[in-house]
A and B are shown apart, each in its own frame.
Chain A
């Protein structure tokens, strides 16, 4: 290892005793150790070294050393870039913060992306510690040098620094900065144009409105028509910020043409970005433009020929609909959005979030658009889709009203009770309970209870058991009268079923509905049956019957 000659010889630092033992040569040796791991550890503790040296020697010896020897492993450089971002106090405070600029400038030109990015991050951090004078004297020239650098890496780094130094400098310097940014937006290399496009929104936010209109808009339009789609899609991101900055009357002329073009870009990546940012765009452009422009654009994205774009748009449907102006919301949704959404789950998602849909649309129109979707979903091959629809049912039923439900949806709910997937049958049972809670016991007695009880005679034992499970769920909601008069006889009759599973579920059912019945009924009708079952041949039937007897305290 080469030994670096100590510029300060063996001069001791400070006057307080032991602290004086650290000539910079020794410390620098640590920073130049052969072993990269040791170098890395030393760099990570750079603040310790700086503290040992004191602020003046840090400024005059340590920093120059670091600036001159920036050719090291990227890991070390990354650690260094990070450390320097926190060095303001260690060099003597904001008055001296500009001393950190030379090493950071070198780091910002390094090839390796993570090092460059960290250097830019640190530069941004310390820019806030610079006084306006220092910004003009030290910081902005650095940015200018980077922006005119030979290799694309320094020009890319420059893009990240414009917005932090612009606000506090004089107007001549501001003009220079704007010029440099313009140059980078039309740079020869796509990497630089991409960096500039990604910072366009951020830069626009710090500019005065007149310059947003004059400079930013033309840059935005140019980048949005770049020959590389990777640049164009970054311009779409910037669109959101730009639209938020401009007054409404200017949006139509300055921003919308470009946005429309992007929504129909020949590259699916750009269209995808538009779809992805749609809710933000909606908020930025406001309700009028949304109605006139964004709705048709959204329709096209929902029907896009590329599946990825359709998926991105479908993801935004709910948010988009929620943020539509209240007065026109439902019309827009029903006439424009809903027909374009092919995916039934998304369609139902929209509907279930509307209030009083039937007031606005009318039952017939609703059933025309909704019902096919519901039926399709209810019969979907994937059971999870069927499950999702069942979970919507109580809500929908409430919105659509009891007549519509009885006419169109009742049979569906019944069909689910005999689905071949257990989870569906279980959910269907729970659904019925909620419907009874909504529509009342009398409705239940007239419409669903007869059908449920009818299943008790089904040749298939699994259907017969479903009857019992339904009764378990419904008895409390239906109340004592219906349970005693209609349900109990059926349960008791099934105690003679030839399948043991049915019989032991009878016992379980009796245990469940017992609390709803009165004590006379329990003694007179339930107890004898349970005693009979307790003497059954099947061991499980015996067990559950005895259990029911003890729980109901009938012994």
Chain B
């Protein structure tokens, strides 16, 4: 009574039609470097002894040999190839990281070019095309670098090398030159955030130690930002570069050089117009505020710049701008405030009456800020007339009850600040509106007459002669 398990009838039989091949599950693709050309034969590296196992005199030479071995690149897109050798390289790199961290006396003149060469071979590559053209940094997952297991260690190694007590920029500058830095900066476009984080640290160290490269680095970052704003609107590393710039700006000596002021006005301010502002706004705002703390006289051009780039259709951006503006107002000097209060409050007046309640709310929260309130109070005779009309209108019209309540409080605050002016404006509100209406009508009449004139002249001169 054997109950031999019968295999369930194959799907094919039930269906009647043969299914030729099964669809392969689509694998999530991790990127690879375009520099890698696959070799047909497997890679063979001779296993070298560990550094800790050889005498102190032999270590420097062994170190160089290991560096040379690490110049060999592996194909991480093919997950099964050269597994043993990949592991060997990984453990070698690990060893090198430790060695660089603890050792003394290993950095000779010959070491520098070999280190730079190994790092260059591993990290410098043309970044592969993005998986999708429609990559939205806010929404989509970034595609990660496939060779990260090795790359991460190379970066770590390089950072420890740069930070090592024995590191001498005077020797290194022969190898870490402008060409190196330029290629490094191009890598900031990597989609992998881990890589950008490492690059940030590397660049920061290089900027710190190589005084001769500083101007060049700033200039190239300028070019990247300008290309980003005016040409491509695509670059993944804006936030990281701005972070570095934040600490650079922090270190500027006073008085600020013209080059730096130009950078503020011509590069940082236009960055506010980028579509992907939310990805780097925090870092950008920090840079701006740093500049103003260094030199308050820059306040007027900065605020005028923000007003020029004020978002017209993107409410999310408007809220960011209002946040940045508040940070600036937090540190503004009263004399500077007076210079820009008129255009500033014209914009704020538009924001508080915005139908988008988050924008209105964010603007109205300025009235919770003590320092801003004190500035407003000092200058209420100028500010109140600018804000009055929209506040008055919105207090009756806004759809959102929370906003109406906030507006009511603001009006109350104004009333207490300068009751005489307040009453006067309230009294003339109606007649002001009527005057505006009349002006509107006059304008329409003017244009109508102009167009009739154009028509008439056109008919009179149908032979094409222009009257003088």
Chain A interface (Cβ < 8 Å from any Cβ of B): 14, 18-19, 21-22, 26, 30, 38, 45, 48-49, 51-52, 54-56, 73, 89-90, 92-93, 111-113, 151-153, 189-191, 194, 227, 229, 266-269, 305-306, 308, 379-381, 418-420, 460, 462-463
Q: Is the CB of A48 within 8 A of B450?
A: yes
Q: Check A308–B129 contact: CB distance below 8 A.
A: yes
Q: How far is the CB of A106 from chain B (nearest CB, A)?
A: 17
Give CA–CA (A69, B16) in the complex, Å: 81
Task: Say how far B93's CB is from chain A's closest CB, in angstroms.
Answer: 24
Q: Across the interface, which residues of B come within 8 angstroms of A112, CB to CB?
A: 230
Chain A residues closer than 8 Å to B453, beta-carbon distance: 18-19, 51-52
Q: Report B-chain residues with C-beta under 8 Å of the C-beta of A153.
A: 230
**For B270, what are the chain A residues with a Cβ–Cβ distance below 8 Å?**
111
| Interface pairs (19), CB distance under 8 Å | A38-B443, A45-B447, A49-B450, A52-B453, A54-B466, A73-B308, A89-B466, A90-B466, A111-B270, A189-B223, A189-B226, A227-B179, A266-B35, A266-B126, A268-B34, A268-B128, A306-B128, A381-B21, A460-B16
Contacts of B327 in A (CB 8 A): none
Residues of A within 8 A of B454 (CB): 48, 51-52
Q: A190-B227, A267-B126, A305-B36 are in contact. Are A14 and B17 (CB under 8 A)?
A: no
Q: C-beta contact mask, B199-232 vs A, less than 8 Å → 1, else 0?
A: 0000000000000000000000001001100110
Structural contact, B129 and A190, CB atoms closer than 8 A: no
Apart from A51-B457, A189-B223, A190-B223, what 19 extra A-B contacts exist at CB < 8 Å? A18-B453, A45-B447, A48-B451, A51-B453, A51-B454, A54-B467, A54-B468, A73-B308, A92-B466, A111-B230, A111-B266, A112-B230, A113-B231, A191-B231, A227-B182, A229-B126, A306-B34, A418-B17, A420-B15
Given contacts A14-B467, A190-B223, contact A52 B129 (CB under 8 A): no
Q: Is the CB of A30 within 8 A of B129?
A: no
Give the Cβ gap from A120 to chain B, nearest Cβ, in Å.
14
Q: Does B20 lie at the interface of the complex (its beta carbon under 8 Å from any beta carbon of A)?
A: yes
Contacts of B21 in A (CB 8 A): 379, 381
| Min CB–CB distance A493 → chain B (angstroms) | 21
Residues of chain A within 8 A (CB-CB) of B182 are: 227
User: How far apart are the CA atoms of A315 and B449 in the complex, in Å?
Assistant: 59
Are A420's CB and B467's CB within 8 A? no
Closest residue of B by beta carbon distance from A418: B17
**CA A268 to CA B130, docked complex, whole Å:** 12
Q: Which residues of B contact A308 (CB under 8 A)?
A: 129
The answer to whether A30 and B227 have CB atoms under 8 Å apart is no
Whether the pair B227, A269 counts as a contact (CB closer than 8 A) is no
Interface string of B3-21 (1 = CB under 8 A from A): 0000000000001111111
State in angstroms the CA–CA spacing of A38 and B450 once bound together: 16
Tell whether, in the assembled complex, residue B450 and residue A52 are in contact, meaning their CB atoms are under 8 Å apart: yes
- Measured between C-beta atoms, what is the minimum distance from A334 to chain B in Å? 25
Task: For the complex formed, measure the closest distance between the CB of B217 and the CB atoms of chain A, giving whole angstroms.
Answer: 15
Q: What residues of chain A lie closer than 8 Å to B17, measured between beta carbons? A: 418-420, 462
- Assembled-state Cα–Cα distance A418/B15 (Å): 11
Q: Which residues of B contact A38 (CB under 8 A)?
A: 443
List the interface of chain B (C-beta within 8 A of A).
15-23, 34-38, 126, 128-129, 179, 182, 223, 226-227, 230-231, 266, 270, 308, 443, 446-447, 449-451, 453-454, 457, 466-468
Query: Contact at B266–A151, with CB atoms within 8 Å?
Result: yes
Contact partners of A268 in chain B: CB under 8 A: 34, 126, 128-129
Bound together, the chains give a CA A444 to CA B210 distance in angstroms of 84
Specify which chain A residues have a CB less than 8 angstroms from the CB of B467 in the assembled complex: 14, 54
Question: Given A51-B457, A190-B223, A266-B126, A26 and B19 touching (CB < 8 A)?
Answer: no
CB nearest neighbor in B for A36:
B312
**Cβ-defined contact, A462 with B230, below 8 A:** no
Q: Which residues does chain B contribute within 8 Å of A26, judged by CB atoms?
A: 446
- Smallest distance from the beta carbon of B291 to chain A beta carbons, Å? 19
Question: Which of B16, B231, B450 sits near A194, CB closer than 8 Å?
Answer: B231
Q: Is the CB of B468 within 8 A of A113?
A: no
Do residues A191 and B226 form an inter-chain contact, with CB atoms below 8 A?
yes
Which residues of the other chain, A, contact B447 by a CB distance below 8 angstroms? 45, 48
The docked-state distance in angstroms from the alpha carbon of A55 to that of B461 is 14
Are A420 and B446 in contact (CB-based, < 8 A)?
no
Give the contacting residue for A191; candidates B35, B36, B230; CB below 8 A.
B230
Residues of A within 8 A of B38 (CB): 305
Residues of chain A lying within 8 A (CB to CB) of residue B308: 73
Residues of chain B contacted by A18 (CB below 8 angstroms) = 449, 453
7 tightest A-B contacts by CB? A420-B17, A460-B16, A267-B126, A268-B34, A381-B21, A379-B20, A113-B230
Residues of chain B within 8 A of A418, CB atoms compared: 17-18
Residues on the B chain within 8 Å of A22, using CB:
450
Complex-state Cα separation, A194 to B232, whole angstroms:
12
Given A90-B466, A189-B223, A227-B182, does the pair A420, B18 have CB atoms closer than 8 Å? yes
Interchain nearest-CB distance for B61 vs A (Å): 32
**Residue of B whose beta carbon sits closest to that of A461:** B16
Q: Of A21, A189, A381, which contacts B23 at CB under 8 A? A: A381
The answer on a CB contact under 8 Å between A306 and B129 is yes
Which chain A positions have C-beta within 8 A of B466?
54-55, 89-90, 92-93
| Docked CA distance A190–B129 (Å) | 21
Residues in B with CB closer than 8 Å to A151 are 266
Q: Could you tell me the distance between the alpha carbons of A51 and B451 in the complex, rounded to whole angstroms?
A: 9
- Please report the C-alpha to C-alpha distance between residue A464 and residue B166 in the assembled complex, in whole angstroms: 85
Residue of A nearest to B17 (CB): A420
B450 cross-chain contacts in A, Cβ below 8 A: 22, 45, 48-49, 52
Contact (A56, B129) CB under 8 Å given A191-B231, A463-B16 = no
Across the interface, B22 reaches (CB within 8 A) one of A152, A305, A380, A381, namely: A381
**Nearest-CB distance from A95 to chain B (Å)?**
12
Q: Are A462 and B37 in contact (CB under 8 A)?
A: no
Interchain CA distance A73-B227 in the complex, whole Å: 21
With CB as the reference atom, state the residue of chain A lying closest to B130: A308
- Nearest chain A CB to B282 CB, angstrom units: 24
Q: Can you name the residue of chain A whose Cβ is closest to the Cβ of B458?
A: A51
Assembly CA distance A266 to B33 (angstroms): 11
CA distance A460 to B270 in the complex (A): 71
In the docked arrangement, what's the CA distance between A73 and B343, Å? 14
Chain A residue, CB-CB nearest to B126: A267
A379 — nearest CB in chain B belongs to which residue? B20
Specify which of B22, B36, B454 lies most central, judged by the most chain A CB atoms within 10 Å of its CB. B454
- The chain A residue sitting closest to B442, CB to CB, is A26
B309 (CB) vs chain A CBs: closest residue: A74
- Chain A: CB-nearest residue to B346: A34
Contacts of A191 in B (CB 8 A): 223, 226-227, 230-231
A45 to B446, CA, bound (A): 13
Complex-state Cα separation, A22 to B447, whole angstroms: 11
Chain A residues, Cβ within 8 Å of B226: 152, 189, 191
Q: Name B443's contact: one of A30, A194, A380 (CB within 8 Å).
A: A30
- A30-B179 in contact (CB<8A): no
Residues of A within 8 A of B446 (CB): 26, 30
Name the distance in Å between A383's Cβ and chain B's nearest Cβ: 10
Min CB–CB distance B348 → chain A (angstroms): 16
With CB as the reference atom, state the residue of chain B lying closest to A56: B468
A52 to B22, CA, bound (A): 76
Residues of A within 8 A of B23 (CB): 381
A111 — which chain B residues lie within 8 A by C-beta? Answer: 230, 266, 270
Instruction: Looking at the assembled complex, report how far the CB atom of B205 sits from the nearest CB atom of chain A, in whole angstroms.
Output: 23
Contact across chains for B36 and A21 when beta carbons are under 8 A apart = no
Tell me the nearest residue of chain B to A72, going by C-beta. Answer: B308
Task: Give A268 to B34 CA distance when docked, in angstroms.
Answer: 7
**Contacting A420 at CB < 8 Å: which of B19, B230, B266?**
B19
Among residues of B, the one whose C-beta sits closest to the C-beta of A459 is B16
**A113 (CB) vs chain B CBs: closest residue:** B230
Question: How many angstroms between the C-alpha atoms of A38 and B439 in the bound complex?
Answer: 13
Q: Which residues of A contact B449 (CB under 8 A)?
A: 18, 21
Which residues on the B side are within 8 Å of A45 (C-beta)? Answer: 447, 450
Q: Could you tell me the distance in whole angstroms from the C-beta of B398 to the nearest C-beta in chain A?
A: 21
Interface centre among B34, B443, B446, B447 (most CB of A within 10 A): B34
- Asked whether, in the complex, the Cβ of B34 is within 8 Å of the Cβ of A305, the reply is yes
